[in-house]
Amino acid sequence: MMLDLLLLLFLFAMGSIIGWVIELFFRRFCSPSGKKYKKWVNPGFLTGPYLPLYGFGLCTLYLLSGIEIPGLDGHPILKKLVLFVVMGLAMTLIEYITGLIFIKGMNIKLWDYSNNWGNIQGIICPLFSFFWAVLGAVYYNFINPYILDAISWLLKNLVFSFFIGFFYGIFVIDLCYSFNIMVRLRKFAQEKEIIVRLEALKDQFVLAREERKEKRRFMLAMYTSKPFRETMDDLFEKFTENMTEKYNDAKKAISEKSYMEYKKKKKK
Of the listed ranges 51-55, 142-146, 160-164, the least confidently predicted one is 160-164
33, pLDDT greater than 70: no
Cα–Cα dist 237/104, whole Å: 24
Pair 93, 146: CB distance under 8 Å: no
pLDDT beyond 70 at 264: no
What would the pLDDT profile of 75-90 be if each residue is shown by its tens digit?
788 889 999 999 999 9
User: How much is the average pLDDT of 87-116?
Assistant: 94
Average pLDDT over residues 184-210: 88
- Is residue 221 within 8 Å of 205, Cβ to Cβ? yes
pLDDT surpassing 90 at residue 92: yes
Q: How confident is the model at residue 31 (pLDDT cuts 50, 70, 90)?
A: confident
Mean pLDDT over 7-12 rounds to 88
- Rounded CA gap, 49 and 219, in Å? 8
pLDDT tens for 156-174 read 776 777 788 889 999 999 9
3-state secondary structure 191-202: HHCCCEEHHHHH
Mean pLDDT of 59-87: 87
pLDDT (mean) for 60-67: 91
Cβ neighbourhood burial of 98 (10 Å; 0-12, 13-18, 19+) = middle
266 compared with 239, residue with greater pLDDT = 239
- Provide φ and ψ at 124, rounded to 5°: -130, 160
HEC secondary structure over the chain: CHHHHHHHHHHHHHHHHHHHHHHHHHHHHCCHHHHHHCCCCCCCCCCCCCCHHHHHHHHHHHHHCCCCCCCCCCCHHHHHHHHHHHHHHHHHHHHHHHHHHHHHHHCEECCCCCCCCCCECCCECHHHHHHHHHHHHHHHHHCHHHHHHHHHHHHHCHHHHHHHHHHHHHHHHHHHHHHHHHHHHHHHHHHHCCCEEHHHHHHHHHHHHHHCCCCCCCCCCCCCCCCHHHHHHHHHHHHHHHHHHHHHHHHHHHHHHHHHHHHHHHHC
pTM exceeds 0.85: yes
pLDDT in tens, 200-254: 888 888 888 878 788 777 788 887 778 888 888 888 888 787 767 766 776 666 6
pLDDT of residue 260: 61
d(CA 25, CA 27): 6
Distance CA 28, CA 40 (A): 6
Asked whether 42 and 219 are in contact (CB, 8 A), the reply is yes
Q: What is the mean pLDDT of the chain?
A: 85
Distance CA 14, CA 99 (A): 22
**Residue 129, pLDDT above cutoff 90:** yes
Closest CA to 12 of 78, 65, 57, 42: 57
Q: What percent of the chain has pLDDT over 70?
A: 87
Q: pLDDT band at residue 256, thresholds of 50, 70 and 90?
A: low
More confident residue, 241 or 46: 46
